[in-house]
């Protein structure tokens, strides 16, 4: 499965390097990849360095600024299996569709994850209503993305849950 990891902003220098606006919460995760996709074309990564949310990449076959300029604005994808996340971290698309339970009672189904503040916020849907839960570590006791099941600590959940 391909995962959109960023967009090429511009050429960087004259030797074919490009600047990538990385969409991952930690751009250093891209250091694990051996190749990336630009459209449907697989490109080997010759060199990659990160600086904050930006990565600077040299792709095989891109040898000058003109070649790099042709990539401006392109979305870059990675094979999801090339990126291993540390324990306790998840890809958003793995969380979508998970059912959140508290004391064996269904709270709702994850339909979105908002990323616009200090903490990510899970958006759950139950009975056509939205429920918002910030991703606070001690709220979620167990996350099993393969089983599409998330267990929540009922006491902490009651302190942070926001319902319509």
Contact predicate 88/137, CB 8 Å: yes
Half-sphere exposure of 164 (CA within 13 A, CB side): 10
- CATH number of the domain located at residue range(s) 2-82 in this protein: 2.40.30.60
Contact predicate 107/101, CB 8 Å: yes
Q: Is 61 exposed, middle or buried, given 0-12, 13-18 or 19+ CB atoms closer than 10 A?
A: exposed
String of b and e for 82-95 (b: at least 16 CB within 10 Å)? ebeeeeeeeeeebb
What is the pTM assigned to this prediction?
0.80
Q: Per CATH, is 92-163 categorized as 3.40.50.10860?
A: no
Task: Spell out the domain ranges in the chain.
Answer: 2-82, 92-163
Taking only the tens of pLDDT, the chain with its 164 residues reads: 899 999 999 999 999 999 999 999 899 999 999 999 998 899 999 999 999 999 999 999 999 999 999 999 999 999 999 999 988 889 998 999 999 999 999 999 999 999 887 889 999 999 999 999 999 878 998 999 999 999 999 999 999 998 87
């Amino acid at each position: 499965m391909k995962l959109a990891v960023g967009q090429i902003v511009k050429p960087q220098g004259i030797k074919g390097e490009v600047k990538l606006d990385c969409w991952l919460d930690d751009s250093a995760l891209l250091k694990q990849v051996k190749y990336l996709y630009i459209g449907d074309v697989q490109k080997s990564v010759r060199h990659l360095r990160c600086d904050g949310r930006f990565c600077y990449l040299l792709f095989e076959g891109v040898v000058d600024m003109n070649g790099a300029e042709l990539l401006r604005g392109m979305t870059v994808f990675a094979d999801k299996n090339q990126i291993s996340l540390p324990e306790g971290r998840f890809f958003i698309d793995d969380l979508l569709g998970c059912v959140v339970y508290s004391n064996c009672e269904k709270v709702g189904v994850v339909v979105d994850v908002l990323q616009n503040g200090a903490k990510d916020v899970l958006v759950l849907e139950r009975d056509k209503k939205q429920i918002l839960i910030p991703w606070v570590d001690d709220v979620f006791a167990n996350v099993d993305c393969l089983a599409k099941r998330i267990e929540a600590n009922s006491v902490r959940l009651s302190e942070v849950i926001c319902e319509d």
